[in-house]
């Protein structure tokens, strides 16, 4: 479990617990799920563990937006990056293809955009 920077207040105003992300180390690959988080500099330390796949938010409401997600990708340096936490309701609508273009132009990571129900192979 990793740190994440996100408020944790529930709708009734009560405390919702500590936000967090996850690094999943599998025999063949390492995946970083940033979960709901803002950009933070320790993402570089997470990246030093050797991240193959990063799943980063791009929704830009209480989490990173597309530009900060690109900055996070530079810090983490994954081989592949997927966007998350976007387009599920109007306040977090984003153009994932624009994000993918920015990732391709500004980083060495391969962007992968999945539609609900789709999958991709880590191999």
CB 42 within 8 A of CB 76: no
Residue 123 reports pLDDT greater than 80: no
Nearest to residue 70, comparing CAs of 51, 92, 98, 42? 98
> What's the pLDDT tens digit per position in 49-98?
999 999 999 999 889 999 999 999 999 999 999 999 999 999 999 999 99
Q: Rounded CA gap, 69 and 33, in Å?
A: 13
CATH code of 18-111, in short, is: 3.60.15.10
Question: Pseudo-torsion of CA 70, 40, 81, 26, nearest 10°?
Answer: 160
How do the domains of the chain map onto residue ranges?
A: 18-111
Which residues, 6 or more positions from 49, have their beta carbon under 8 angstroms from its beta carbon? 23, 25, 30
Mean pLDDT of the chain: 94
CB 32 within 8 A of CB 55: yes
pTM higher than the cut 0.85: yes
């Amino acid at each position: 479990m990793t740190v994440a920077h996100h408020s944790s207040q529930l709708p009734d105003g009560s405390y919702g617990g500590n936000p967090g992300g996850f690094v999943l180390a599998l025999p063949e690959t390492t995946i970083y799920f940033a979960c709901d988080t803002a950009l933070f500099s320790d993402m570089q330390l997470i990246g030093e563990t050797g991240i193959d796949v990063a799943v980063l938010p791009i929704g830009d409401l209480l989490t990173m937006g597309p530009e900060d997600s690109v900055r996070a990708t530079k810090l983490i340096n994954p081989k592949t990056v997927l966007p998350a936490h976007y387009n599920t309701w109007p306040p977090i609508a984003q153009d994932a293809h624009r994000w993918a273009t920015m990732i391709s132009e500004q980083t060495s990571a391969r962007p992968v955009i999945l539609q609900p129900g789709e999958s991709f192979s880590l191999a």
